């Protein structure tokens, strides 16, 4: 049993030689990565995709800038609208404060010959539309 065991430096040398001989007999396979074949069709498609992406990105940037411009324009128009509404309300309040209903009634009765409506002459009408009523014919007498 001890006959197969070799001691000393020759054992290492013998073992190294056997390993070298074993590895030199086996063909070495190297890991190679397959490269893309740069055919003209592939290059044209790649250029087309890059151009498409660039055009799409540029269009996106232009659309975002247009959105930002429209938002700022909307803000300016909203401010202008609010100013006009305030001005209109102030003007309406000033006009309504200058109207004297007693004077209008006096002119209508004295100068134009109108008469105040009696209690039997007033007809109340309720329609579906709240803001105005269209009268297509005379109302019947009560």
pLDDT tens, residue order, the chain (142 aa): 445 655 555 545 445 555 555 455 556 667 777 777 889 999 999 999 999 999 999 999 999 999 999 999 999 999 999 999 999 999 999 998 888 888 888 899 898 988 888 877 777 776 666 666 677 777 777 6
Which residue pairs, CB below 8 angstroms and at least 24 apart, start in 81-90? none
Task: Output the six-digit token pair for 62.
Answer: 């232009």
Question: For residue 116, which of 101, 131, 127 has the smallest C-alpha distance?
Answer: 101
Q: What is the CA radius of gyration of the chain?
A: 51
Q: Is 0.85 topped by the overall pTM?
A: no
Q: Which sequence spans correspond to the domains of the chain?
A: 11-110
Contacts of residue 120, Cβ cutoff 8 Å, sequence gap at least 6: 142
How far, CA to CA in Å, does 1 sit from each of 7, 13, 18, 127?
A: 14, 22, 22, 122
């Amino acid at each position: 049993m001890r006959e197969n065991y070799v001691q000393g430096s020759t054992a290492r040398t013998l073992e190294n030689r056997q390993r070298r001989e074993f590895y030199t007999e086996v063909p070495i396979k190297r890991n190679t990565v397959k490269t893309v074949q740069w055919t003209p069709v592939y290059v044209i498609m790649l250029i087309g995709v890059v151009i498409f992406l660039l055009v799409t990105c540029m269009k996106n940037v232009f659309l975002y800038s247009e959105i930002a411009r429209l938002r700022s324009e909307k803000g300016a128009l909203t401010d202008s609208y609010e100013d006009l509404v305030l001005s209109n309300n102030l003007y309406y309040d000033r006009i309504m404060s200058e109207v004297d209903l007693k004077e209008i009634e006096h002119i209508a009765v004295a100068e134009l010959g109108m008469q105040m409506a009696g209690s039997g002459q007033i007809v109340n009408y309720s329609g579906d539309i709240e803001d105005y009523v269209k009268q297509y014919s005379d109302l019947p007498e009560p």
